[in-house]
Structure 1
Amino acid sequence: MEPLKIPATGRTPEVDFDFAAGILRLSGESYPDDVATFFGPVFAALRSFLEKPGDHPVRFDMELLYFNSSSAKALMNIFQMLETAARAGRSIAVTWCYEENDESMQELGEDFAEDLRHVAFTLKQVPADGAS
């Protein structure tokens, strides 16, 4: 499956999905004018990838500095897709990166983690000068 790469803009995150390696990454800020238009292709590609038979592990790195409530709903959809695949036996790990001293992003990560039973979810504090 071809990778999905969407460069970041001032309002949308970078999408870097390397399906062959099983490494998926969202980074930057997410408050697009039209969430459905931006995330539609992301959902479609992720759904297609997760529906294909495969047993190699999937790593999803979330390195968002900020997102609005509409993007939060989109993230929940992504997490639900990952949870469904993990429940079916796929090994899936999510790393939620948040900047030191950003308690809001840390708490949001904790909230998302509470809804996931089969996905390995890790909170990772990164230096405030940028996610890594």
Structure 2
Amino acid sequence: MTNIEIAATQSTPAIHADSQAGRLVMRGDSYPENSFAFFAPIIEWTERCIAEHGAVSVDLYLLYLNTSSVKAMMDLFDLLESAHQNGRKVGVNWYYDQQNVRVAELAEEFKEDCNFTFEIIAETAAGE
């Protein structure tokens, strides 16, 4: 299983998927022209990671998501929920700037539909 390293652009988040650690990290804004094409390999990687290792941890540092990115995240969380229901160890940590209330509210909306571990963590502007 290979790792994924995608540098952030103006409209896409940086992606770091470490198969050895079973960890997926997304950082930045997400409003790609084609969210399906952008997120497909990430969702595929997550499926493989869960199948091979039985676990995955997702750390999100997302600042802005457009509607199609929200749909892609819903697909990812549905995958995690299904894995959780099948006894897999999955979890999400969503970090947000405490001054960005919209991101916190979005994370809360996602969390409401998830039965797996889903933490929403406020950070100061300095990342403390």
TM range (shorter): over 0.9
Tell me: CA distance 1:129–1:69, structure 2 relative to 1, closer, same or farther (3 Å).
Answer: farther
Cα pair 2:49 2:56 within 8 Å, conserved:
no
Taking the TM superposition and a 5 Å limit, the aligned residue runs for 1:83-122 are: 83-117=81-115, 119-122=116-119
Tell whether 2:51 aligns with 1:51: yes
Q: Which amino acid aligns with 1:125?
A: A
Query: 1:13-47: per-residue Cα shift (whole Å, max 9, x none)?
Result: 01101011111111100000111221121122222
Local SS of the residue matching 1:84: helix
Which residue of structure 2 lines up, in the alignment, with residue 13 of structure 1? 13
Structure 1 residue 93, shift from structure 2 partner: 1.6
- Structure 2: any 5+ residue segments left out of the alignment? none
User: What does the per-residue CA deviation read over 1:42-84, in whole Å, with 9 as the maximum and x for residues that have no partner?
Assistant: 12222222233x34x4221011011111100000001111111
Distance 1:43 1:61 in 2: 14
Post-superposition offset of 1:129: 4.4
Partner residue of 1:128 out of 102, 125, 128: 125
Q: Secondary structure at the match of 1:2?
A: coil
Q: Take 2:65 and 2:107, find their aligned partners in 1: how far apart are those partners?
A: 12
1:17 maps to a residue whose letter is: A
4+ residue segments displaced more than 3 Å = none
Question: What letter matches 1:42 in structure 2?
Answer: I
- Please provide the CA RMSD for this pair: 1.5
Instruction: Find the residue that maps to 2:73 and give its secondary structure.
Output: helix
What's 1:73 paired with?
A: 71
SS in 1 for 2:110: helix
CA distance in 2, matches of 1:38, 1:102: 25
Q: Aligned residues: percent identity?
A: 36
